[in-house]
């Protein structure tokens, strides 16, 4: 089959963990003849979930690219994880998908994972088909599942089919779009088509009319035809539904049992007939603000949406071609790094199996290996093109842990491995915090970070331990203080001498100059860690030569880098140098650095020092029934309620919470809400630490110093 942009279908399987996405993809491949035997999750033999960690866990951790042919179409399938810890895999897959298939477990209805992915689907404006799966389950309830879908996601969700005998005897589906009934053999597979029974005709006709109305709404000609004739031809209906689906005016609901192989073929037929091709989707947004049409006739441009390292293979880059045709042997320019990449091989991916191909057209999804410096979110262009496809916006991290340092040699190997994983996983960030003197890992959840540890230990043979990260406190003062300090050292020959008189006071923007001092020069330095140091030179009469001002400032900065209370950074302080003494022989930069540093320390301790703690704005979305428990838990975390509202069927709680109280909050919230709540956080401000906690923290730091 000759592949063109118009006969491509790119679908992404989404849903709560355990809804049956991987089993459904396996059945799609089997029904289409891409594989001759269906694997099982229990046996670790599915095409998707092929990595060791997925086989051990029994669920998806990574997204998997597969492909098959059905009738006139090549269908690229992306199976994604159902746990929000791995939402980066979902988001990157939705970036390149043209249709979302949201799988719903008929025995559980709409679960939290379904609700979470809907947020991503709507942000990408992806055409969506719902599939109510596991109709062979004893507790399957199709009608309740449909009601929940419509309640949560709107009345645009319309049933196309419904089962007659759901449960362990499930074998029959009424298709209201084609007005026929499918009866499946016990072994599943190809059904027998029969007439709809008389007692089901009224219900089927009512659903059929809803679909016809939805199809006609987007085309005036079809609407007139519908009003005149009362119905549409199959061809007219397909045309209208294609437009409605592509414009997110309808979310068709299908039903099946993937594990029993009953119903998947009809869904694939609908994907072939109705789901939009890449050519029927809107142009892709560019970083420059422009757009790029998805067409075979344009210049070659491909976007890397995922990279992954495999043993014995190396780095695999998964891409979608957005314009032109990509051929093996092409030289492309990485728009981010400006380096040239030769595409030596292009592969059609079927899980871990890759088949080489000569070329791919715009809209197709494939993979290649061993690119030199191209990673996720990079655009590769042919000659004469200078645009960049808009990058995937991955969510901010929700959790952080510190890595307990191993031995020096192991630390170097571990950091190399972690940096490699961070290139593959944009949802993971690695931070070497000079302030905290810790190596921090930021991720989406405890399971996400545990997976990183698993990979480091299993693949690299390095034991990695996590520990509680330190808090980046800040130190400041609340009143002014004047101090003089003399540094004098004599050890034969030239000695060291410097005397500094300084005043420190709390700094606020726009504050007036000191009325009793003559300000000769002013420097306001924005500190790398936040806040300001204002340095005023108020020397009159030459008691200290101005050439020593930089050394004095450097001594103060050294002490602000590691504050007197806990060794945390100091901020928002004004220092006035108003007097001192120097020696024509013994004074030098080092002497004045030492004198100013000690003077600052003494003044700081006299100026009612205050520890500041980082405060985060936290927005929590939770169901009504969990709200009381979540609010009670927040009170134990010193949270300040900013407001409460509703968003859809969720309750929204806005709070400000100290970072020190957020450790492992992700796991606590999941437990309190049975996994149905979610949250996001962002830094807000630094605020005064309560006096009793300040005393405890200073005491613990002093005890640790004594032990050390």
Q: How far is CA 311 from the centre of its chain?
A: 25
Q: 704 falls in which pLDDT band (50, 70, 90)?
A: confident
pLDDT tens per residue, range 467-514: 999 999 999 999 999 999 999 987 666 789 999 999 999 999 999 999
Write down which residue in 561, 589, 607 finishes a domain. Answer: 607
What mean pLDDT, rounded, does the chain reach? 92
Would the pLDDT of 686 be above 60?
yes
Whether residue 338 sits in one domain with residue 433: no
The vertex-375 CA angle with 372 and 380, nearest 5°, equals 80
Would the pLDDT of 414 be above 80?
yes
| Residue for token pair 């970036």 | 95
Whether residue 297 sits in one domain with residue 408: no
* Residue 223 falls inside a structural domain: no
Range name among 72-86, 91-105, 673-687 with the lowest pLDDT average: 673-687
Q: 428 falls in which pLDDT band (50, 70, 90)?
A: very high
How does strand 340-342 pair with strand 331-334? antiparallel
CA gap 47, 49 in Å, rounded: 7
pLDDT the model gives residue 227: 65
Would the pLDDT of 355 be above 70?
yes
CB atoms within 10 A of CB 350: 20
pLDDT tens per residue, range 142-163: 999 999 999 999 999 999 999 9
* Residue 701 falls inside a structural domain: no
Residue 380: both structure tokens together: 């590769």
Picking from 341, 337, 320, the residue whose alpha carbon sits closest to that of residue 383 is 341
| Residue for token pair 């990157």 | 92
Residue 211: both structure tokens together: 């679909």
Question: What are the residues whose beta carbons fall under 8 Å from the beta carbon of 64, sequence distance 6 or more?
Answer: 25, 47, 48, 49, 50, 78, 79, 351
CB atoms within 10 A of CB 168: 10
Q: How far is CA 514 from CA 75, 503, 511, 517, in A?
A: 74, 10, 9, 6
Contact 29, 318 (CB under 8 A): no
Q: 557 falls in which pLDDT band (50, 70, 90)?
A: very high
pLDDT the model gives residue 237: 82
Contact 296, 324 (CB under 8 A): yes
pLDDT the model gives residue 424: 87
Q: Phi and psi for 303 in degrees, rounded to 5?
A: -125, 125
Whether residue 491 sits in one domain with residue 569: yes
Would the pLDDT of 708 be above 60?
no
* Residue 233 falls inside a structural domain: no
Contact 510, 529 (CB under 8 A): no
Q: 623 falls in which pLDDT band (50, 70, 90)?
A: confident
Contact 677, 626 (CB under 8 A): yes
* Residue 191 falls inside a structural domain: yes
Q: What share of the chain is helix, strand, coil (3-state, %, to 5)?
A: 30, 30, 35
Picking from 128, 115, 130, the residue whose alpha carbon sits closest to that of residue 650 is 115
Write down which residue in 280, 300, 328 finishes a domain. Answer: 280
Picking from 561, 665, 659, the residue whose alpha carbon sits closest to that of residue 615 is 659
The percent of residues above 70 in pLDDT, for the chain, comes to 97
Question: What are the residues whose beta carbons fall under 8 Å from the beta carbon of 347, sequence distance 6 or more?
Answer: 354, 355, 356, 357, 366, 367, 368, 369
| Residue for token pair 């790119």 | 10
Residue 338: burial class (beta carbons within 10 Å; 0-12, 13-18, 19+): exposed
The vertex-558 CA angle with 557 and 562, nearest 5°, equals 105
pLDDT the model gives residue 216: 81
In sequence order, the β-bridge partners of residue 108 are: none
Cα of first residue to Cα of last residue in the chain, in angstroms, is: 72
pLDDT the model gives residue 492: 64
Picking from 603, 610, 606, the residue whose alpha carbon sits closest to that of residue 695 is 610
CB atoms within 10 A of CB 227: 9
The vertex-536 CA angle with 535 and 542, nearest 5°, equals 125
CA gap 387, 3 in Å, rounded: 26
Whether residue 659 sits in one domain with residue 538: no
pLDDT the model gives residue 500: 96
CA gap 630, 674 in Å, rounded: 11
Range name among 7-11, 206-210, 266-270 with the lowest pLDDT average: 206-210
Radius of gyration in angstroms for the set of CA atoms belonging to the chain, rounded to a whole number: 32
CA gap 504, 424 in Å, rounded: 48
Residue 458 sits in a domain whose CATH number is 3.30.70.870
Runs of H (alpha helix) within 58-130 = 87-96, 112-124
pLDDT tens per residue, range 185-227: 999 999 999 999 999 999 999 999 899 888 888 776 777 776 6
* Residue 232 falls inside a structural domain: no
Whether residue 374 sits in one domain with residue 409: no
Map residue 350 onto helix, strand or coil. strand
Whether residue 560 sits in one domain with residue 646: no
Polymer length of the chain: 708
pLDDT the model gives residue 493: 66
Residue 328: both structure tokens together: 């093996």
CB atoms within 10 A of CB 491: 7
pLDDT tens per residue, range 159-181: 999 999 999 999 999 999 999 99
pLDDT the model gives residue 610: 97
The vertex-172 CA angle with 170 and 177, nearest 5°, equals 135
Residue 663 sits in a domain whose CATH number is 3.30.70.240
CB atoms within 10 A of CB 31: 22
CA gap 159, 148 in Å, rounded: 12
CA gap 595, 551 in Å, rounded: 10
CA gap 30, 66 in Å, rounded: 12
* Residue 598 falls inside a structural domain: yes
* Residue 216 falls inside a structural domain: no
More confident of the two residues 275 and 404: 275
CA gap 598, 485 in Å, rounded: 7
CA gap 64, 121 in Å, rounded: 18
Number of structural domains (the chain) is: 5
Write down which residue in 467, 488, 511 finishes a domain. Answer: 467
Q: What is the largest CA-CA distance in the chain?
A: 114
Residue-wise DSSP of 471-529: P--EEEESS-EEEEEEEEE-SSSS-EEEEEEEEEEE--TTPPPPTTS---EEEEEE-TT
pLDDT the model gives residue 229: 66
Residue 310 sits in a domain whose CATH number is 2.40.30.10
Range of the domain at 662: 612-693
More confident of the two residues 24 and 236: 24
Whether residue 622 sits in one domain with residue 496: no
* Residue 222 falls inside a structural domain: no
Contact 504, 533 (CB under 8 A): no
Residue 688: both structure tokens together: 């005064």
Range name among 87-91, 297-301, 512-516, 647-651 with the lowest pLDDT average: 647-651
CA gap 250, 159 in Å, rounded: 10
Would the pLDDT of 304 be above 90?
yes
In this prediction the pTM is 0.87
Whether residue 592 sits in one domain with residue 488: yes
Range name among 63-72, 416-425, 554-563, 599-608 with the lowest pLDDT average: 416-425
Whether residue 416 sits in one domain with residue 509: no
Contact 364, 353 (CB under 8 A): no
Whether residue 327 sits in one domain with residue 275: no
Whether residue 38 sits in one domain with residue 101: yes
Ranges assigned E (strand) in 659-697: 678-688
Residue 438: both structure tokens together: 């810790």
Q: 674 falls in which pLDDT band (50, 70, 90)?
A: confident
| Residue for token pair 């302080």 | 573
Whether residue 273 sits in one domain with residue 159: yes
Runs of H (alpha helix) within 11-86 = 21-32, 52-57
């Amino acid at each position: 089959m000759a592949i063109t942009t118009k006969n491509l279908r790119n679908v992404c399987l989404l849903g709560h963990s355990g809804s049956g996405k991987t089993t459904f993809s396996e059945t799609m491949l089997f029904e289409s003849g891409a594989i001759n035997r269906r694997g099982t999750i229990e046996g670790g033999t599915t095409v998707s979930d092929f990595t060791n960690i997925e086989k051990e866990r029994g669920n998806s951790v990574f997204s998997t690219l597969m492909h098959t042919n059905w009738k006139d179409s090549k269908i690229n399938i992306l199976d994604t994880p159902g746990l929000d810890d791995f939402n980066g895999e979902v988001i990157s897959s939705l970036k390149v998908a043209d249709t979302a298939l949201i799988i719903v477990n008929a025995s559980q209805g709409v679960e939290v994972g379904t609700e979470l992915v809907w947020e991503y689907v709507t942000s990408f404006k992806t055409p969506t088909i719902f599939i109510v799966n596991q109709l062979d389950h004893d507790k399957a309830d199709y009608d309740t599942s449909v009601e929940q879908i419509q309640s949560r996601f709107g009345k645009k969700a319309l049933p196309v089919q419904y089962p007659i005998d759901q449960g362990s005897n499930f074998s029959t589906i009424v298709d209201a779009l084609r007005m026929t009934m499918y009866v499946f053999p016990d072994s599943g597979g190809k059904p027998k088509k029969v007439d709809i029974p008389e007692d089901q005709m009224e219900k089927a006709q009512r659903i059929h009319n809803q679909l016809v109305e939805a199809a006609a709404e987007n085309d005036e000609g079809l609407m007139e035809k519908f009003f005149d004739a009362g119905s549409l031809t199959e061809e007219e209906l397909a045309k209208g539904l294609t437009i409605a689906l592509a414009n997110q005016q309808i979310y068709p609901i299908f039903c099946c049992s993937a594990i029993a192989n009953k119903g998947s073929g009809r869904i694939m037929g609908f994907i072939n007939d109705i789901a939009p091709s890449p050519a029927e989707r809107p142009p892709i947004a560019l970083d420059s603000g422009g757009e790029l049409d998805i067409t075979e006739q344009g210049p070659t441009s491909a976007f890397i949406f995922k990279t992954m390292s495999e043993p014995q293979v190396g780095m695999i880059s998964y891409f979608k071609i957005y314009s032109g045709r990509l051929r093996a042997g092409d030289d492309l320019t990485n728009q981010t790094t400006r380096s040239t990449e030769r595409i030596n091989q292009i592969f059609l991916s079927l899980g871990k199996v890759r088949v080489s191909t000569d070329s791919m057209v715009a809209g197709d999804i494939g993979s290649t290996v061993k690119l030199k410096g191209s990673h996720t979110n990079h655009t590769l262009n042919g000659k004469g093109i200078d645009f960049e496809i808009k990058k995937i916006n991955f969510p901010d991290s929700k959790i952080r842990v510190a890595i307990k340092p191993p031995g020096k040699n192991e630390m170097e190997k571990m950091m190399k491995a972690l940096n490699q994983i961070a290139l593959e996983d944009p949802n993971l960030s690695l931070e070497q915090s000079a302030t905290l003197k810790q190596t921090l890992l930021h991720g989406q959840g405890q399971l996400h970070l545990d997976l990183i540890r698993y990979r480091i230990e299993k693949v690299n043979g390095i034991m990695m331990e996590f520990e509680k990260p330190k808090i980046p406190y800040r130190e400041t003062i609340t009143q002014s203080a004047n101090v003089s300090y003399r540094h004098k050292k004599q050890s034969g020959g030239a000695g060291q001498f410097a005397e500094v008189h300084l005043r420190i006071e709390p700094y606020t923007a726009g504050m007036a100059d000191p009325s009793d001092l003559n300000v000769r020069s002013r420097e306001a330095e924005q500190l790398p860690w936040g806040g300001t140091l204002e340095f005023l030179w108020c020397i009159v009469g030459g008691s200290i030569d101005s050439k020593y001002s930089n050394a004095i400032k450097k001594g103060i900065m050294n002490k602000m880098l590691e504050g007197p209370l806990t060794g945390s950074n100091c901020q928002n302080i004004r220092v006035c140098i108003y007097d001192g003494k120097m020696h024509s022989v013994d004074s030098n930069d080092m002497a004045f650095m030492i004198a100013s540093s000690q003077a600052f320390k003494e003044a700081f301790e006299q100026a009612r020092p205050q520890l500041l703690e980082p405060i985060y704005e936290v927005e929590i979305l939770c169901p009504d029934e969990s709200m009381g428990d979540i609010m009670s838990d927040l009170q134990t975390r010193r949270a300040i309620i900013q407001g409460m509202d509703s968003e859809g069927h969720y309750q929204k709680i806005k709070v400000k919470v100290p970072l020190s109280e957020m450790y492992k909050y992700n796991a606590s919230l999941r437990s309190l809400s049975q996994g149905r709540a979610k949250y996001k956080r962002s830094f807000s401000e630094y605020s005064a630490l309560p006096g009793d906690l300040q005393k405890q923290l200073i005491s613990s730091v002093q005890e640790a110093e004594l032990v050390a």
